[in-house]
């Protein structure tokens, strides 16, 4: 499968799943645009490393996905968008009656509304070339719920719905839109929670992973960023040309329970 000549924009891709997806798309030959809200040397260095390793064009564009104007400017500044991966996301865990309003607003803006804005600007570009792939990184929480994650679960269910509507509005135009629903993935964000959880429950690392983190993931194994990147590459392939408006779970069986 070669994605040579295609430009992929991946939001929130200076770490974790977004970076993993960007690397796998580049491995498949796509030129990539990395993004986050920071503008550090190491952000730009990530793009240079990908360019050197996979011999593709790669650059980093700063844009804050909580801001409508910056979401739209990201796509415009990239200049081309054959593949759009809406991945940027944050989390906050708190009961509904105590949930801070600013956290609710930020989660809905970054995890859901940003995808509306980027999609709106990318679609006319994709229609011009008659080819496009939109991959929304949802979550097992786009299909099922957990307590204390109201904003996250609402945003992730929302992005599954947005994916279906986008698919219907682009059907028959060479464009597909789907949502990937990961279970627990061992990103730097998740890794950083392990030491505190070990202390909190007086458990060793293995117990924390199996009994706390992967409690709802029957495989008792994390999904990896490479597996998620591979799933995104598959959705960009010709084999997936008729897969649109659906979800693909990469969750070790979580949503089969
Ligand atoms: P992460 O924190 O490593 O990555 C989040 C990315 O979003 C980072 O690059 C961060 O810089 C970026 N980001 C945050 N706020 C932003 C903003 N305002 N503007 C632009 N970029 C911003 O976490 P991750 O685990 O890789 O999460 C990536 C996506 O995968 C998220 O949408 C998350 O909900 C989803 N997800 C993660 C897991 C998991 O277990 N790690 C499971 C299911 C879904």
Domains of the chain: 7-185+223-251 (3.40.50.720), 186-222 (no CATH)
Residue in 32, 187, 255 to alter for ligand 1 test, most ligand atoms within 8 A of Cβ = 187
How many A from CA of 128 to the centre of ligand 1?
A: 30
Measured CA to CA, the distance from residue 158 to residue 223 in angstroms comes to: 23
pLDDT score for 189: 77
How many A from CA of 187 to the centre of ligand 1?
A: 9
Note whether 185 and 225 are within 8 A (CB). yes
pLDDT score for 226: 98
Note whether 141 and 132 are within 8 A (CB). no
Neighbours of 230 (CB within 10 A): 17
Three-class secondary structure of residue 142 per DSSP: helix
Measured CA to CA, the distance from residue 86 to residue 217 in angstroms comes to: 24
CA 142 to chain centre: 12
- Chunk the chain into consecutive blocks of 10 residues (it has 257) and report each block's average pLDDT, rounded to whole numbers: 95 98 98 98 98 98 98 98 98 95 98 99 98 98 96 98 99 99 91 88 93 92 97 98 98 97
Identify the H or E element spanning 132.
strand 132-137
Measured CA to CA, the distance from residue 123 to residue 83 in angstroms comes to: 10
pLDDT score for 224: 97
pTM summary value: 0.97
Measured CA to CA, the distance from residue 199 to residue 161 in angstroms comes to: 39
pLDDT score for 127: 98
Radius of gyration of the chain (CA): 18
152: annotated active-site residue: yes
pLDDT score for 196: 86
Atom 36, ligand 1: residue with shortest CA distance:
139
């Amino acid at each position: 499968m070669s994605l040579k000549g295609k430009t992929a924009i991946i939001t929130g891709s200076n770490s974790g799943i977004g970076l993993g997806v960007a690397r796998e798309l580049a491995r498949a030959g796509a030129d990539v645009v990395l993004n986050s809200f920071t503008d550090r040397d190491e952000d730009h260095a990530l793009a240079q490393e990908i360019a050197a390793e996979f011999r593709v064009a790669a650059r980093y564009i700063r844009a804050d996905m909580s801001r409508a104007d910056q979401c739209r400017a990201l796509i415009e500044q990239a200049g081309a968008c054959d593949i759009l991966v809406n991945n940027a996301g944050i989390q906050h865990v708190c009961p509904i009656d105590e949930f801070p309003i600013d956290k609710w607003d930020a989660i809905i803006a970054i995890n859901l509304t940003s995808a509306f804005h980027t999609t709106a600007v990318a679609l006319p570009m994709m229609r011009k070339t008659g080819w496009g792939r939109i991959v929304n990184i949802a979550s097992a929480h786009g299909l099922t719920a957990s307590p204390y994650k109201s904003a996250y679960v609402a945003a992730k269910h929302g992005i599954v719905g947005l994916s279906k509507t986008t698919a219907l509005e682009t059907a028959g135009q060479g464009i597909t839109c789907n949502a990937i629903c990961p279970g627990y993935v061992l990103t730097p964000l998740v890794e950083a929670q392990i030491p505190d959880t070990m202390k909190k429950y007086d458990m060793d690392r293995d117990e924390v992973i199996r009994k706390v983190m992967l409690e709802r993931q029957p495989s008792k194994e994390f999904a990896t960023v490479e597996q998620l990147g591979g799933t995104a590459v598959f959705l960009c392939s010709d084999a997936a040309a008729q897969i649109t408006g659906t979800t693909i779970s990469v969750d070790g069986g979580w949503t089969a329970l």
